[in-house]
Amino acid sequence: MARIRRPSRRPAASRALIAALVALFAASAPRADAPESFRQTVKTLYAFHPHALTDAQIDAKSKELDAFWEKVKSDTATYLPLLREALSDETSQSFFFYDGSKLLLSLSKDRSDEQLALTSIARCDIRDVQRDDYLYTVFHMAHDRLDTSEAAFKVLADPKFTVNVPQHALVLGQDFSLIYMLLPTSEDFFVQKAVDRLSTETEPTAQKSLLRLLWYSVTEAGDRAVAAVAASERYSSPIREVARSLQSSTASMESDSKPPKKLLKEIGDIVPKDADFDRIKEVRRTRLSRVSDEALLELDALTWLLRIKRPRH
């Protein structure tokens, strides 16, 4: 089912209506087995931005997109290669990059298709997508150890980016949304990029999010970047204070022999007593497989433990 950003989830189009629209596509569209015909269908169908439409217009477009999805699913031998080709075309429509990627992910579990979807998602206009769907989609790809940095950094353009997780009475701001989309993957993919982005970023909310991400990375490069911000007059006083607060937290954690009992209770027996720094990082990555308040408590406890166990150079 296509996902269009709107205040509330739309009702699914009736099966009869979808069938009628699928038949209409089949009858009126150019030959579907020709790549140019498929590209033209995509170009025409996705020539809109959901964030600029009214609810009534969104309902109408949703029905058309449902029909398109059903048509592609009805003949994957024909349409899957064409879908991949259209997603690889950098001139395709902005919302297609997201909606078409979701369609591809619903049809294939191949890693190459997941990588294609991720690359395409990074090209969408984030104003057009449901924030929770965007977060969870990129988050799951991070757990598959794909480079989610480009897609994750898109949220930095929206200071008000938040995701509600009602089942856990949790609201993730831009900072922890970024953390969820990056920490589960390899640090090689995002730490240096985050350092570079922080050196040029001017928006305060994005600066704070990058600082928190780098601090949670528990890396030498991340800590150097935090220290540089704390000492630089180039940044505003509030931003320097955030960096200094993170430095203070680091010093406090590294001076302890173990995390506070409250945090130790959160991680229980999930970390072997003889676990080294790298093993704890892997445990932390694994435990961050749920978007919940419990997972965030475990994140803090394991980060504290990492600060204590980190090798000193």
Last residue of a domain, one of 111, 129, 147: 129
The whole-number pLDDT of residue 270 equals 86
Residue 60 to residue 66: CA distance in whole angstroms:
10
The whole-number pLDDT of residue 243 equals 98
Structural domain includes residue 54: yes
Last residue of a domain, one of 129, 162, 181: 129
Per the CB < 8 A criterion, the answer to whether 120 and 101 are in contact is: yes
Residues 6+ apart with CB under 8 A from 312: none
32: left (phi over 0), alpha (psi -120 to 50) or beta: alpha
The whole-number pLDDT of residue 245 equals 98
Structural domain includes residue 305: yes
Structural domain includes residue 230: no
Number of structural domains, the chain?
A: 2
pTM of the entire predicted model = 0.87
Structural domain includes residue 193: no
Structural domain includes residue 247: no
Domain assignment of residue 44, given as a range: 1-129
Structural domain includes residue 218: no
Structural domain includes residue 10: yes
Last residue of a domain, one of 89, 109, 129: 129
Structural domain includes residue 138: no
Residues of the chain scoring pLDDT < 70: 1-34, 312-313
Q: Could you tell me which residues are beta bridge partners of residue 171?
A: 164
To the nearest 10°, the Cα dihedral for 298, 300, 305, 306?
Answer: 110
Residue 187 to residue 136: CA distance in whole angstroms:
19
* Helix locations, 160-257, DSSP H: 174-182, 187-200, 204-217, 220-231, 237-254
